[in-house]
Structure 1
Amino acid sequence: MSSKLTFTSRLPVAHAHPPTTRPHIGFGVYLSPEDVCKASCLTALKHGYRAIDTAQYYENEAQVGEAVRESGIPREEIFITTKIMTPEGSVEKSYQKCLKSVEDIGLGYVDLFLIHTPSSGPEGRKEMWQALERLLKEGKTKAIGVSNYGVAHIEEIKTFSDVMPAANQVELHVQCQQRPITEYCTANGINVEAYCPIARGKYLDDPTLKQIADSHNVTVAQVLIRWILQMGFIPYPKSDHADRIKQNADLYGFELSEEQMRILGMMDRGHDGAVVPQKTECP
């Protein structure tokens, strides 16, 4: 991933119907209360972000939609993702739950709709996927995908659907590199989205990271997010502080060297490095 990338460059969305593109970086709103979320999104949009990730579980979908409308930015330039957390007991009921999210956001459609977690078991996962397929067929979303899925969970989809996920959103940072699932997704043309790209600040005092950051005159957070970009993944940093929102996207004036990427690759602690450990095996 080259430093020649810019905020305005985009990449193809895997398995989208019809084909579409997406920004290389997005903005997350997990734990942003209603009265804060809208302001944070407006700040992010002001500073060039063109992708926002929300979820039913976050309870701020409506505020994301309000921010997009108030921004004055054309809808087609902004990539909106949301997620369904749990099945409702039937494909129809889960579909209606997803449709409500689209209506709450109020932008006519979302660009990507994900299953938030595989924890509902095989039948629950199938129900939600089939609901998302209907949403896709009706044009209420441009692409569908998953979050926190392991290899077996995605392979399971092949047993009942011809539609592969456009994306898999997982916790991903230098201390938790998720190699089995990221390698699988890359090999199968599935976009890898990274939540917790700066591990919620857990490793900002790491001396190795600080040394790399100092060599580029940037912050450790910028190094961590830039690593994800250079790995070919899609980071979704989150902040409710205007200066950090701006800084977290200032990633295009430096490039990590091959040696620095090698050093960062050796920092992986697997499951032990996760901020929010997930079970990736079935069921």
Structure 2
Amino acid sequence: MNDNAIPTVTLNNGVEIPQLGFGVFQVPDDETTAAVASALDAGYRSIDTAAIYGNETGVGRALADSALSRAHLFITTKVWNADQGYDSTLRAFDASLAKLGLDYVDLYLIHWPTPARDLYLDTWRALEHLTEQGRIRAAGVSNFQPAHLQRLLDSSGLVPAVNQIELHPALQQSELRAFHAEHGIATEAWSPLAKGGILTDSAITAIADRTGKSAAQVVLRWHLQLGNIVIPKSVTPSRIRDNLNVFDFQLTDEDMATIATLDQDLRTGPHPDTLN
């Protein structure tokens, strides 16, 4: 698969991100290098990690071993909750960059708002500083709710380029996606397959049967047609390739309408208002 087969989303600062990327959440560091190498080999160019995943070093090894030019890669990492605050975020960023073996990252995210600790405005100022230095090409957030985003918008001239949130057919986040659209924030979906929980749904499997695709491919296609950026994860080379094989078919308007009825407000991860 060539690089051009994956469409890009242009962020609010003009930076382009591949719409389909590769996530490494819960992949042990010693397995990460092989998984990322498989992903790069399959045609992925966007890799999403985080300090708390403990596998930035493994990602960095795969990048160092790759023959791909840095300019053709899009690397995301995130500052963990314990490192929030202005100075500690700058230190955490340096540590992440060293583990990744990079001079810059393409996207740096505040991992959670942790509202009770009330440090995300200070953390965001650090991301502004890193953006001005050219050490991050785009600054964003993860798991922010509309109220958290509004507070950032009210206190800063820098609008987050991305909000990476749990999003799948059982948790469609329509209110949050509408807020993003209004403010020029791209929506990026983590746990895009609901940890597999949505893949046995009869509506999804019926579409899969009709299109000759897997349930996972149908759900990933749904994300793409909604305009979401999506980062499925797998350590299985065949599944890594299958997750990329979603650009040769289209869901119908009827399919999209059917999947829209599956929203149950069902989270597989923590709630952003209460994780501190």
Q: Above 0.5 in TM-score?
A: yes
Per the alignment, residue 10 of structure 1 pairs with 8
Per the alignment, residue 162 of structure 1 pairs with 157
Give yes or no for the alignment of 1:223 onto 2:221: no
Letter in 2 for 1:223: V
Residue 253 and residue 90 in structure 1: after superposition, are their counterparts in 2 closer, same or farther (change >3 A)? closer
- Give 5+ residue unaligned stretches, structure 2: none
Residue 90 and residue 262 in structure 1: after superposition, are their counterparts in 2 closer, same or farther (change >3 A)? closer
Letter in 2 for 1:20: V
8 Å CA contact retained: 2:115, 2:273: no
User: Could you tell me how far 1:122 is from its partner in structure 2?
Assistant: 6.3
Q: How far, CA to CA, are the matches of 1:242 and 1:173 in structure 2?
A: 23
**Aligned counterpart for 2:255 among listed residues 257, 260, 277:** 260
Moved more, 152-161 or 45-54: 152-161
1:52-91 matches, within 5 Å, as: 52-88=47-83, 90-91=85-86
CA distances 1:71-121 after superposition (whole Å, capped 9, x unpaired)? 211111111000012254751222111121112211210000000001154
CA distances 1:233-256 after superposition (whole Å, capped 9, x unpaired)? 011000011110000110011100
Letter in 2 for 1:279: P
Residue 193 and residue 58 in structure 1: after superposition, are their counterparts in 2 closer, same or farther (change >3 A)? same
1:227-266 matches, within 5 Å, as: 227-266=222-261
**Aligned counterpart for 2:268 among listed residues 267, 275, 282:** 275
Residue 36 and residue 42 in structure 1: after superposition, are their counterparts in 2 closer, same or farther (change >3 A)? same
Q: How far, CA to CA, are the matches of 1:157 and 1:48 in structure 2?
A: 35
- Work out the percentage of aligned pairs sharing the same amino acid: 35
**Aligned counterpart for 1:145 among listed residues 113, 136, 140:** 140
Per the alignment, residue 104 of structure 1 pairs with 99
1:166-205 matches, within 5 Å, as: 166-205=161-200
8 Å CA contact retained: 2:169, 2:198: no
* Equivalent residue pairs, number: 274
- Give 5+ residue unaligned stretches, structure 1: none
Per the alignment, residue 108 of structure 2 pairs with 113
Letter in 2 for 1:51: S
Residue 154 and residue 9 in structure 1: after superposition, are their counterparts in 2 closer, same or farther (change >3 A)? same
User: Could you tell me how far 1:7 is from its partner in structure 2?
Assistant: 2.6
Residue 137 and residue 87 in structure 1: after superposition, are their counterparts in 2 closer, same or farther (change >3 A)? farther
Q: How far, CA to CA, are the matches of 1:150 and 1:282 in structure 2?
A: 12
TM-score, length-scaled by structure 2:
0.94
User: Could you tell me how far 1:144 is from its partner in structure 2?
Assistant: 0.5
TM-score, length-scaled by structure 1:
0.92
User: Could you tell me how far 1:38 is from its partner in structure 2?
Assistant: 0.7
SS in 2 for 1:136: helix
8 Å CA contact retained: 2:114, 2:273: no
Q: How far, CA to CA, are the matches of 1:22 and 1:67 in structure 2?
A: 20
Q: How far, CA to CA, are the matches of 1:9 and 1:207 in structure 2?
A: 29
Residue 29 and residue 90 in structure 1: after superposition, are their counterparts in 2 closer, same or farther (change >3 A)? closer
Letter in 2 for 1:12: T
Q: How far, CA to CA, are the matches of 1:223 and 1:191 in structure 2?
A: 21
Moved more, 228-237 or 131-140: 131-140
Residue 89 and residue 114 in structure 1: after superposition, are their counterparts in 2 closer, same or farther (change >3 A)? closer
